[in-house]
Structure 1
Amino acid sequence: MLWLTIPLLAAALDLWLKDPPNWPHPVRLVGWLLDRLERLARFSPLPPRLAGLLCVLGLALGVGLAIQLIASLPILGWLSALYFSFAGLALGGLLQEGRRVARLLHEQDIEAARAALSGLVSRDVDQLDENGIRRALAETISENLNDAFTAPFFYLVCLGPAGLWAYKTVSTMDSMWGYKTPRWRELGWAAARTDDLLAFLPARLTALALTIAARLLGHPAVRLPELRHAAGQTESPNAGWPMAAAALTLRAGMGGPTRYFGQAKVKPWLGPEGQTWTDQKLNDLFRLTLLAGLGVCVGLVLMALFMMLAFSVL
């Protein structure tokens, strides 16, 4: 029961403190390790996909084991577990940065909005107009509700801080290696596929939380067949679910032409045609995202509590 307080406290700290800029963050260490692993993998005699798979498994298990050992220390173990749990969640920071971009757009400071957006997305932002910035912001907020909060919180509740950081390691590898470019297509294949597997259930939980939160806020209901059809159009097996839920709920489109690393790409259109994102719809999305995140938090903790009580009775 004591350990079940950690996810709730971690979520509260995330919404309160966000990501303090001067604090050390474990994900930076993971990124540093990935840079070294890339050099080893590229000089390895193994096929790139196999080398990439071994990097994924080795680093994720190694980070998870290290967190488990630290969290098991006497006296400091619980505080360490709380810190690593808090550091692995990013809903507060996501909403903070999203609102900053929206505020800059409202003030008509397009260049500053592009610069702020570039810290949230991997696409090229230098040619985005006002509507393009809003659409890109809506996409990243809805998609990252899963990547930044639901999925890590899911593994925190199920497997503790070690499980959260094993997942975060894979997710970080996917964000650094999981591109379909000549440099990463083979070496990053395992990172992308492992992340797809681990995020499969959380992504659908995120979409469910968004649709329930939307009903609580008075938005129209989204039918499951419509949501499934829209989500199935995206290249990723997971990203389309929260994106489609947000687009269909708030009646604003996502997708269309964009650019990544200088290359043009046309993403499938989600939501109603011709409906753009406005200041009001972005504000609605921020409220929807916060409520859905809180719903995920309470729902998963209650589920874990119910299962603990059920097993204790048995």
Structure 2
Amino acid sequence: MGSVSEMLTIVPLHQRPELMEACAELINEEWKKSKTSRIYSLQKSTDNFPLCLVLIKTQGTAEDATDGKMVETQLLGHARLSRVVGQPESLFMETVVVSKALRGKGYGRKLMEATERYAGSRGFRHLHLTTHDKQHFYAHLGYALSEPVQSMGFMSSLVPMGFLEMFSSPLHHARAPIPALAPGTPSPTAAQLSSRTSGAKPPQLPYAIAAAHLPLPPLPPPLSPPACFMTAAIPPPPRLPPPPPRASPLHTTSAALGFPPPPAPRLPLLAMQGSSACLLPPPLPLPSLPGYKGSAGHIVSSPAAKETCGQMLLETPYRDLRGLPIFWMKKDI
């Protein structure tokens, strides 16, 4: 009997439809969802993206491998790739998962490396991803913190890329400039502006609306105040002297017992120099720990606390739809 050989392969899921149900169960181990809904989303995998990749292990004897036959096929992991809006050489990778029974054996690294090779073979040069708590694992594989990107997801199979890029462009939301008006020309109404941009004839305004734009008659001059208010200005009453300072109970008791009053409290931040007072120098700042904010609010730079795009490996300003911290990462392949 020949020796058993193993081979790892990454293939598009739509080329192995018999693995569709097993892949849905694999993903549901990590993210719970209806099996029917999960299979429905996996069936949208196409070569034009989004594309679902599965890492499989095939086992067989040397004789079976020579004849092109394999005894057993095992599903190890899954990853989905989508296009990125505005970046034709980039892909967004998500739903990266390895079977729980096979974790800790290096299959996660092999899944990532195989996915990167596949993306590179398709002509792409950058991979983006997000993670909640595996940022150190991806950093060990060469991924760096980056800015967020917009993934097309399943919209790429329904809407052309050019149409989505038009909506994501800031020029699409800019308003058309309004032509300058000649002096004395009344401002156009909203209905007139909309008719100019659409090319339609402006509608005739009703009499009530047209009358609202006529100039208003001048206001009558203000009335003079009544004679009863035309009196001489009354001077304000003189200010009363401030009340004498009240002695504290401690001073009264000390004076009654014959003891001298206690000295006045000293100001902690003032030092007398001759006839003028000056502030004492501020205390020295406390030493800061690497990766945390110092006394002046600045982040201490260190190899473990490198900040990129407002993110660090231990802190990120970004949140997902549930409000959980999320890290954006990128790798050039």
Tell whether the structures are fold-level matches, with TM greater than 0.5: no
Q: TM-score, normalised by structure 2?
A: 0.24
Higher relative contact order (CA 8 A, sep 6+): 1
Task: Indicate the structure with greater strand content.
Answer: 2
* TM-score, normalising length: structure 1: 0.25
